[in-house]
Amino acid sequence: MRQLAKEMNLDVHHHAFALSADKNEMIRKFGSMKQAMKIILGHWDQCALADDEKRVNVEGMRKKPFEYPTSSPGLIACKAAQKQGGQQEC
């Protein structure tokens, strides 16, 4: 993306947002954490189909014993990186 922005003189702005901020929000959206994981992994199945390099291991994700993660920790990290480095450093 950095190379393309440089070649085409683009001003790239990154935006981060929480898909589900916490466990309670995920349960409200999907009905349960089990249902959330099923639906979200279905989305990952679609990503895997489009990934010619086979980098997405959905079956590996399905085998994990933890509940599907929420977005807040990653969102906070992205915002911190943006504040430290600015848009062009992302």
pLDDT at 58: 92
pLDDT at 27: 93
pLDDT, tens digit (0-9, with 9 covering 90-100), for 32-79: 988 988 998 999 999 999 988 888 899 998 898 777 777 788 888 888
Cβ burial, residue 26 (10 Å; 0-12/13-18/19+): buried
Domain ranges within the chain, ordered by starting residue: 1-18+71-90, 23-69
Short-list 34, 21, 28, 42, CA closest to 68: 34
pTM over 0.85: no
Is residue 89 very low, low, confident or very high in pLDDT (cuts 50, 70, 90)? low
